[in-house]
């Protein structure tokens, strides 16, 4: 493919993406969340940890736009700070999944044969665990906390990215430019890094966006079960879990943080869908 048609192709993908209204909405939502995560200390009206027991469980009003929780902490500030932890956990775990998933996928897809068989059977074992259960097992053993949660979600994603990468590698493995690279004596590691890897970036990006949404949901689930982010760290799911006890007298404590989770996941889903449609319009869902 000449450089010119490559650029034209890129422009076509970009145009398709920009024409998709839902994809743009998704991108804007994600951008807003990233902005909030970076500038949380500057835009939060109050200290997310400061308790004020005389002002507890107040419904949304002028001083506390989203009300206060059972300890009198400002819910808006806790949600804004919670964005940092939600994005930290999901992005770090997806990064872990991508690094190891693509590595295994590249090796399995490029070498094939016994190596492929062994790697993919191991991946099958991890895929055999129902959603959430492997993560529960890992964090229960290691002990609760942010880093163990990242590790557990990251491990869950490895086989998914490995499968995706392997499929993409097999599709191009026997093309002329790879054969040519091999014929002039390039080493396998160089072929994988320089020739194969750039070609599998598009599907990886699509999956990364879609799985960011899943990672956010998984972190919330683990935190809700008491395994993920620990109080008093502001976290959306922890706010729901502890606010659940006051759902009769102060329903806003448990319900509002859920909207933050839903909107974040929705944003990443829309973005991922849009990217997939733009890169491969025939496989749109």
Partner 1 sequence: MFAYFLRRLLLMIPVILGVILVVTATLDFIPGDPAELLLGQFATPESIQTLRHELNLDQPFFVRYLRYVGDLFCGNLGQSITLKRAVSEEIMETLPATLELTGVSMLLVLVVSIPLGTIVAAKPNSVLDNIVRLFSLAGLSMPVFWTGIVLVLFFSLNFRLFPVGGYGGLRHLFLPAVTLASASIGMVTRMVRSSVMEVLREEYITSARAKGLKEWTVLFKHALRNGLIPVVTVLGSQVGQMMGGAILTESVFAWPGLGRLTVHAIFRRDFVLIQGVVVVLALIYVLVNLLVDLSYALINPRISYQ
Binding site for partner 1 (CB under 8 A): 121-122, 124-126, 128-134, 136-138, 140-143, 213, 217, 220-221, 224-227, 237, 240-241, 244, 247-248, 251, 254-255, 258, 261-263, 265-266, 269-270, 284-285
In the complex, minimum distance from the CB of residue 206 to partner 1, in angstroms, rounded to a whole number: 15
CB closer to partner 1, 46 vs 142: 142
CB neighbours of 34 closer than 8 A, spacing ≥ 6?
87
What is the DSSP code (8-state) at residue 225?
T
Tell me: cis bond preceding 129? Omega within 30 of 0 counts: no
Provide the minimum distance between the beta carbon of 144 and partner 1 in the complex, in angstroms, as a whole number: 9
Residue 187 Cβ vs partner 1, minimum distance, rounded to whole Å: 32
Burial of residue 128 (number of CB atoms within 10 Å: 0-12, 13-18, 19+): exposed
Token digits for 220? 């919330």
Nearest to partner 1 of 155, 196 (CB atom): 155
C-beta of 73 vs 276, nearer to partner 1: 276
- Dihedral angle over CA of 268, 273, 276, 279, nearest 10: -100
- Residue 176 CB, shortest distance to partner 1, in Å, is 31
- Tokens encoding 98: 């991508």
With respect to partner 1, which residue has the nearer C-beta, 14 or 124? Answer: 124
Closest to 218 in 3D by CA, of 105, 138, 103, 100: 138
59 vs 251 by CB, closer to partner 1? 251
Min. distance of Cβ 98 from partner 1 in angstroms?
Answer: 21
């Amino acid at each position: 493919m000449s450089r010119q048609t490559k650029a034209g192709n890129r422009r076509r993908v970009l145009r398709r993406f920009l024409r998709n209204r839902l994809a743009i909405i998704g991108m804007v939502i994600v951008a807003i969340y990233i902005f909030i995560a970076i500038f949380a200390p500057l835009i939060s009206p109050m200290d997310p940890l400061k308790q004020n027991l005389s002002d507890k469980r107040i419904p949304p009003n002028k001083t506390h736009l989203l009300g206060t929780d059972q300890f009198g902490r400002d819910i808006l500030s806790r949600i804004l700070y919670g964005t940092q932890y939600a994005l930290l956990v999901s992005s770090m775990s997806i990064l872990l999944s991508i690094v190891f998933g693509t590595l295994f996928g590249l090796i399995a897809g490029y070498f094939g044969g016994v190596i492929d068989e062994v790697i993919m059977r191991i991946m099958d074992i991890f895929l055999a665990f129902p959603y959430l259960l492997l993560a529960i097992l890992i964090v229960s053993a290691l002990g609760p906390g942010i880093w163990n949660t990242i590790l557990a979600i990251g491990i869950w994603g490895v086989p998914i990215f490995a499968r995706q990468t392997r499929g993409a590698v097999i599709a191009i493995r026997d093309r002329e430019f790879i054969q040519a690279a091999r014929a002039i004596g390039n080493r396998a590691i160089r072929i994988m890094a320089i020739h194969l890897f750039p070609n599998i970036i598009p599907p990886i990006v699509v999956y990364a966006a879609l799985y960011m949404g899943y990672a956010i949901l998984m972190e919330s689930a683990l935190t809700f079960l008491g395994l993920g982010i620990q109080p008093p760290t502001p976290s959306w799911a922890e706010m729901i879990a502890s606010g659940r006890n006051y759902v009769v007298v102060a329903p806003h404590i448990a319900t509002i943080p859920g909207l933050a989770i839903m909107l974040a996941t929705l944003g990443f889903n829309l973005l991922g869908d849009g990217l997939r449609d733009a890169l491969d319009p025939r496989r749109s869902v």
